[in-house]
């Protein structure tokens, strides 16, 4: 199988397929574990069945699921899949940027020099990542979010739509920052932070 299987049949999959098209990459079809999706199509590509088909194919695949935890679980479930990275030609990515397996970068994204992107990272539409940032595995930077220089996002961080992060801040692993949040200091792991400035919800309740 020479083309690429798209894993996930939701709205995010449409953007991934559009990115694959723009990058000149061939799509074979779509896989999704939700039985109600089987027999349908996503942007004209058939949903061929559940993810168990990944075990029997020799082809390549890309994850088209926005949930960081879901992507993590699928990669653990199918350790032998060849995951491909995709960069939209309308994204601006400096040549010094390191891009891990399975990472997708959508149209309008800007990624500046000496940034490192881990595996299965999503840099969504119109997001910007400035110089010397580190985005570990399974990070998702939502549309229109902006990272200043030397920001460190640990594994599984999710930055909501329109977030901003000031320079040299670290966000702990598997933390979510709500839409429009402004991160001005380090955030701990495994929390949800909201607001301007973004603070963990528990902290906001206490104050």
Two tokens, residue 29 = 């079809």
Contact at 8 Å (CB) between 131 and 110? no
187 secondary structure, DSSP code: B
Distance CA 110, CA 179 (A): 19
In three-state secondary structure terms, 16 is helix
Whole-prediction pTM value? 0.94
Sign of CA dihedral 120, 121, 123, 125: positive
- For 39-66, b where at least 16 C-beta lie within 10 A, e where not — what string? eeebeebebbbebeebeeeebbbbbbbb
Q: Give the model's pLDDT for residue 136.
A: 98
Contact at 8 Å (CB) between 133 and 114? no
Contact at 8 Å (CB) between 120 and 103? yes
Q: Give the CATH architecture of domain 86-195.
A: 3 Solenoid (2.160)
Distance CA 163, CA 139 (A): 14
Total count of residues recorded for the chain: 207
Contact at 8 Å (CB) between 100 and 85? yes
Q: Give the model's pLDDT for residue 58.
A: 59
pLDDT, mean of each 10-residue run, the chain (207 residues) = 86 97 94 90 92 78 97 93 96 98 98 98 98 98 98 98 98 98 97 95 55
Q: Which residues are catalytic?
A: 131
Q: Give the model's pLDDT for residue 2.
A: 62
120 secondary structure, DSSP code: T
Q: Give the model's pLDDT for residue 68.
A: 98
Q: Give the model's pLDDT for residue 205.
A: 44
Domain ranges in the chain are 4-83, 86-195
Q: Give the model's pLDDT for residue 52.
A: 87
CATH number of 4-83: 3.40.50.20
Q: Alpha-carbon Rg of the chain, whole angstroms?
A: 17
């Amino acid at each position: 199988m020479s083309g690429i299987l798209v894993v996930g049949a939701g709205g995010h999959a449409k953007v991934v397929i559009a990115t694959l098209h723009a990058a000149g990459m061939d799509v074979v079809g779509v896989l999704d574990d939700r039985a109600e999706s089987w027999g349908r199509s996503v942007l004209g590509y058939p949903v061929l069945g559940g993810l168990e088909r990944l075990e029997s194919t020799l082809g390549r695949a890309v994850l088209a699921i926005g949930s960081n935890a879901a992507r993590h679980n699928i990669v653990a479930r199918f350790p032998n899949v060849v995951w491909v990275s995709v960069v939209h030609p309308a994204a601006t990515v400096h040549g010094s940027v390191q891009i891990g397996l399975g990472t997708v970068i959508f149209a309008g994204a800007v990624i500046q020099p000496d940034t490192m992107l881990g595996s299965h990272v999503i840099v969504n539409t119109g997001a910007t990542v400035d110089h010397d940032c580190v985005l570990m595995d399974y990070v998702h930077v939502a549309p229109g979010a902006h990272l200043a220089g030397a920001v460190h996002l640990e594994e599984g961080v999710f930055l909501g739509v329109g977030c901003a992060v000031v320079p040299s801040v670290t966000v702990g692993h598997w933390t979510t920052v709500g839409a429009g949040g402004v991160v001005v200091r380090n955030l701990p792991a495994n929390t949800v932070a909201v607001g301007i400035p973004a603070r963990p919800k528990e902290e906001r309740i206490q104050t």
